[in-house]
């Protein structure tokens, strides 16, 4: 019976995996179908636009040629009309003179005849008919405007789609993950495909460099699976278009581009890239999953002091008017560390384990992810209206409800204040070391649990503010204290490369004795 149940469970597990695989496949096919429809509409629109531009260019050239023919026709017509008008006038004058000559022949009086004959002779000498050119000024020939579009027509008939670049091949071994940026390296393909054919070659109309790659398109998405297929519910592709040659670093036969400003809140970043020439985009390369390890945590709202408001990656101090929380008194408390070091008389060791929310003057909230090994890094920014805050790490079990960071052996912190006067100090085990440095606007916190290193960095000025050296004996959590104002925390960060410089020099700094 048990054997059959176990076999049935294996069958169910296999079916469940196949079901998930089929769901992923159907979703991929559906996404591909949608993409195909969008891409088809896009290329059709581009083709129509190209044909419209070609038609417009032909029409413009037609207008230009028609104008030249019309202008020449009008010029010749004017010349011929002028000759026609002059010829008609000469003909009329000649007819009048001929009639006058015929009438003169009938004159019998010799004196009158001689007088009329003299007039005829003078009029013949001056007659327009004898001074008129009887050859047309222009010809009807318009052969100079004959055009031959046979070459262009043959070119249009040879018109074909541009060759399609082959998919590049991402070189996973040359991809680099550093400083929350991913440098993607790929091998460009010099071959092209035409109309989906797997063969290479320029294709019709692909000459003259038409198939030369002009830019690349890169897409990436975050996932928690080392898989090229997108599982249901995971992020869609983020797109980076128009990666030009000026943005691509070429080393040897590889091309590289860096995607910056990423938050590594997943185990992997999947990338793919494709090439595009003048108008045609090829297929994407096979997706490659690149591991992106970073420390992610949020605020544990269950631990937050009642007067702290946790919202996303920010914590703000919102006083509720509780007696004893007068800011003036709080300012004095900050000024005198000895008073604030006194724990609440109601606090007992037994009360710590079962009560998580901080109270009294411990305006504290903890992170929700523990550290039990490895290297971790996160950053803090004070909000514009801040007055006092602390940031560090602590053993969760060592903090009572009324404990303040740095006031016991189980917490280490950097304390900053600009209440009454500016101050910066490193605190641990109820001891403080003043730091002679301007109040930073962005603080990096580095924790190497295994080596017992805890460092605080002024990120904007790249200055190591202080480094604790100890041996951690329990799991740690990030810890924050906020009084008056607020802070924001950035997680999902790799240990930045500039930490290497500080890790080699921090041994020379004075640390608090343990």
Domain regions of the chain by residue span:
2-157, 164-291, 299-508
Burial pattern 394-407, b for ≥16 Cβ within 10 A else e, equals bbbeebbbbbbbbb
E strand spans, 320-410: 364-367, 375-382, 388-395
Chain-wide mean pLDDT for the chain? 83
| CATH fit for domain 164-291, picks 1.10.2020.10, 2.60.40.10, 2.40.30.10, 3.90.550.10 | 2.60.40.10
- pLDDT tens figures, 265-285: 888 999 999 998 876 788 899
- Confidence check: pLDDT of 324 > 60: no
CATH 2.60.120.920 fits 299-508, yes or no: yes
pLDDT in tens, 342-356: 333 333 333 333 357
The predicted structure's pLDDT at residue 125: 77
Of the pLDDT bands very low, low, confident and very high (cuts 50, 70, 90), residue 481 is very high
- Give the pair of three-digit tokens for residue 10: 């294996």
Average pLDDT over residues 443-453: 96
Helix (H, G, I), strand (E, B) or coil at 481: strand
The better pLDDT of the pair 7, 332 is held by 7
Angle of CA points 202, 205, 209, to nearest 5°: 60
For the chain, what is the total number of helices (H) and then of strands (E)? 8, 25
State which of 249-258, 347-356, 503-512 shows the largest mean pLDDT: 249-258
* Predicted confidence band of residue 211 (pLDDT cuts 50, 70, 90): low
Backbone angles phi, psi at 447, to 5 degrees: -130, 115
Q: What are the tens digits of pLDDT across the range 87-101?
A: 898 888 888 888 888
Least confident of 57-71, 221-235, 296-310: 221-235
Q: Can you give the pTM of this predicted structure? A: 0.62
DSSP state of 158: T
Q: What percent of the chain has pLDDT over 70?
A: 84
Average pLDDT over residues 94-123: 86
Q: What whole-number distance in Å separates Cα of residue 411 and Cα of residue 495? A: 22
CB burial of residue 270 (10 Å; 0-12, 13-18, 19+): buried
pLDDT for 110: 84
Q: Quick one: pLDDT at residue 502?
A: 81
Q: How far apart are the first and last CA of the chain?
A: 62
Confidence at residue 245, expressed as pLDDT on a 0 to 100 scale: 63
Q: What angle do CA 411, 415, 417 make, to 5 degrees?
A: 155
Q: What is the pLDDT of residues 131-179, one digit of tens each?
A: 788 888 899 999 899 999 999 899 888 888 778 888 999 998 889 999 9
pLDDT band, very low/low/confident/very high, at 14 (cuts 50, 70, 90) = very high
């Amino acid at each position: 019976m048990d054997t059959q149940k176990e076999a049935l469970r294996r069958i169910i597990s296999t079916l469940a995996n196949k079901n998930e695989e089929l769901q992923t496949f159907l979703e991929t096919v559906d996404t591909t179908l949608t993409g195909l429809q969008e891409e088809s509409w896009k290329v059709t629109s581009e083709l129509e636009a190209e044909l419209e531009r070609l038609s417009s260019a032909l029409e413009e050239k037609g207008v230009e040629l028609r104008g030249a023919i019309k202008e020449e026709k009008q010029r010749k017509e004017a010349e011929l009309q002028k000759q026609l008008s002059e010829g008609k006038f000469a003909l009329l004058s000649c007819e009048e003179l001929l009639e006058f000559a015929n009438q003169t022949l009938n004159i019998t009086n010799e004196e009158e005849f001689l007088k009329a004959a003299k007039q005829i002779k003078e009029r013949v000498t001056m007659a327009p008919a004898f001074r008129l050119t009887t050859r047309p000024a222009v010809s009807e020939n318009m052969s100079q405007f004959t055009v031959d579009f046979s070459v262009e027509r043959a070119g249009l008939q040879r018109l074909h789609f541009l060759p399609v670049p082959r998919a590049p091949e991402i070189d996973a071994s040359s991809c680099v993950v550093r400083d929350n940026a991913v440098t993607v390296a790929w091998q460009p393909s010099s071959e092209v495909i035409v109309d989906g054919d797997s063969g290479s070659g320029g294709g019709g109309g692909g000459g003259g460099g038409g198939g030369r790659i002009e830019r690349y398109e890169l897409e990436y998405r975050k996932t928690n699976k080392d898989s090229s297929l997108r599982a249901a519910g995971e992020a869609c592709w983020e797109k980076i278009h128009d990666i030009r040659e000026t943005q691509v670093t070429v080393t040897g036969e590889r091309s590289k581009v860096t995607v910056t400003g990423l938050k590594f809140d997943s185990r992997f970043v999947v990338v793919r890239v494709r090439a595009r020439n003048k108008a045609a985009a090829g297929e994407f390369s096979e997706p490659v999953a690149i591991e992106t390890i970073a420390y992610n945590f949020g605020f544990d709202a269950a631990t937050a002091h009642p007067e702290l408001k946790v919202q996303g990656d920010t914590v703000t101090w919102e006083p509720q008017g509780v007696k004893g929380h007068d800011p003036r008194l709080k300012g004095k408390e900050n000024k005198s560390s000895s008073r604030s070091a006194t724990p609440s008389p109601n606090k007992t060791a037994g009360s710590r384990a079962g009560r998580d929310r901080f109270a009294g003057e411990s305006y504290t909230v903890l992170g929700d992810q523990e550290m039990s090994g490895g290297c971790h890094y996160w950053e803090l920014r004070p909000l514009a209206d801040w007055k006092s805050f602390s940031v560090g790490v602590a053993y969760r079990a060592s903090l009572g409800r009324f404990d303040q960071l740095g006031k016991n052996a189980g917490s280490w912190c950097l304390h900053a204040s600009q209440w009454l006067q500016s101050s910066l100090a490193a605190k641990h085990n109820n001891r403080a070391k003043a730091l002679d440095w301007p109040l930073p606007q962005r603080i990096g916190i580095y924790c190497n649990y295994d080596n017992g290193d805890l460092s605080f960095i002024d990120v904007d000025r790249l200055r190591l503010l202080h480094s604790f050296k100890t041996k951690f004996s329990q799991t740690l959590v990030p810890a924050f204290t906020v009084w008056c104002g607020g802070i924001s925390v950035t997680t999902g960060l790799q240990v930045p490369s500039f930490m290497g410089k500080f890790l080699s020099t921090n041994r020379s700094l004075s640390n608090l004795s343990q």
